Amino acid sequence: MTFSDNLPLALSQGDPAGIGPDIALTAWSNRVELQLPPFIFVGDPAVLKVRARELDLEVPLKETDAEGAVSAFGSAMPVLPVSLGVDVVAGEPHVANAKGTIAAIETAVDLCFAGKARAMVTNPIAKSVLYEAGFGFPGHTEFLAELARRHTGETYRPVMMLAGPKVRAVPVTIHIPIKDVPAALTEEAIIETCRIIAGDLKARFGLAHPRLAVAGLNPHAGESGAIGHEDEDVIHPAIMKLRDEGIDAFGPLPADTMFHDDARRRYDVAVCMYHDQALIPVKALGFDDSVNVTLGLPFIRTSPDHGTAFGIAGKGIARADSLVAALKLADEISRKTEAKS
């Protein structure tokens, strides 16, 4: 048994009114057949108790610190309590839940830095609810980089990658309005993003020579400049510089033809210019088994690919597959990373 076999994954609660509690309870209930790696739920046990009743699931909870999680996992769902201090109604998001949602994320990160968790897995948050409470980050991705900075004093460029069995894709720009994408797409942004992708696919995913297919921005990758200039003026020069550094990046490729079966065999990751260009193919090809991974951080973070799904919270129909895939991927990456170090 290695040291890390004694460490759980830290699973943050996410928005308590969303399906995070449902899928955590469902995953734990099926832990044996799914061969789940042990996790500790970081959140409010009161929410879990009520949700388990609503879902008609018998889930004993064990309030514990991270040290007690692995031994408890077989017989009870380990919970590191982070109290919300308010009643939560499934499917009814409320700004009063935001403080506890954020505290659960911070606590899970603290566990990673303290060497008490092998990696963190986040349940979905509703961005608009957190924004209403004054949260100053577009999502987990950027918030986790800030938390890492607070721990280490160093700055990080976090990169969002969606990974499924059929395709991996990264959006260079993430949660910004589509009208702001062209201005945000600089050579520097593309180069830095690709460097992080290439480095992490080697170090964390075991790909010796990752192949990066870079999408164009405009239809037909700009049609030689006739339909937009960014493909020729920004994306192509960035690719040339990356190739000079020895990174196997190629493109810009027309985005509409780079995701069919045959095209996907030619690369390990699609580097896309904006959120939907990357996330639509990933979710269309594998909504249930794709995972959101943050690259470029000093700790491992994965997440299901879906959101809070308020409309189905507490109804017993939320599928836990993507969370299960996220737990397994965090486990796998942490073992690969440990084996190397």
Ligand X SMILES: NC(=O)C1=CN([C@@H]2O[C@H](COP(=O)(O)OP(=O)(O)OC[C@H]3O[C@@H](n4cnc5c(N)ncnc54)[C@H](O)[C@@H]3O)[C@@H](O)[C@H]2O)C=CC1
Of 195, 150, 100, nearest in space to 298 by CA? 150
The site for ligand LD2JLWAY, by CB under 6 A, has a size of: 6
- CA pair distance 289, 322, nearest whole angstrom: 5
Place of tokens 């919300």: 84
- Residue 312 partner contact from ligand LD2JLWAY, ligand X, none using kind-dependent CB cut-offs of 5 to 8 Å: ligand X
Three-state SS annotation for 248-265: EEEEEECHHHCCCHHHHC
Which CB sits closer to ligand X, 46 or 312? 312
Stretch of residues binding ligand X (CB under 6 A), selected from 123-131, 157-165, 191-199, 270-278: 123-131
CA dist 185 and 91 (Å) reads 36
127 near ligand X (CB under 6 A):
yes
Give the nearest distance from C-beta 141 to ligand LD2JLWAY in angstroms. Answer: 3
Q: Measured from the CB of residue 62, what is the shortest distance to ligand LD2JLWAY in angstroms? A: 28
Our finding on whether 30 is near ligand X (CB under 6 A) is no
Asked if 105 interacts with ligand X (CB under 6 A), we say: no
Contacts of 191 (CB under 8 A, 6+ apart): 238, 241, 242
Quick one: which of 26, 290, 294, 303 contacts ligand X (CB under 6 A)? 303
**Residue 52 makes contact with ligand LD2JLWAY by CB under 6 A:** no
Q: Considering the rule CB under 6 A, would residue 308 count as an interface residue with ligand LD2JLWAY?
A: no
- Residues placed in the known binding site: 140-141, 175, 220, 275, 283, 292, 301
Say whether residue 303 binds ligand LD2JLWAY (CB under 6 A): yes
Contact 117, 108 (CB under 8 A): yes
In DSSP terms, 80 is beta-bridged to: 42
Q: Could you say whether residue 292 binds ligand LD2JLWAY (CB under 6 A)?
A: yes
Q: Say if residues 304 and 23 touch (Cβ distance below 8 Å).
A: yes
Binding segment toward ligand LD2JLWAY, per CB under 6 A, in 59-67, 113-121, 138-146, 254-262: 138-146
CB of 32 vs ligand X, minimal distance in Å: 21
Site for ligand LD2JLWAY contains 279 (CB under 6 A): yes
| Residue 101 near ligand LD2JLWAY by CB under 6 A | no
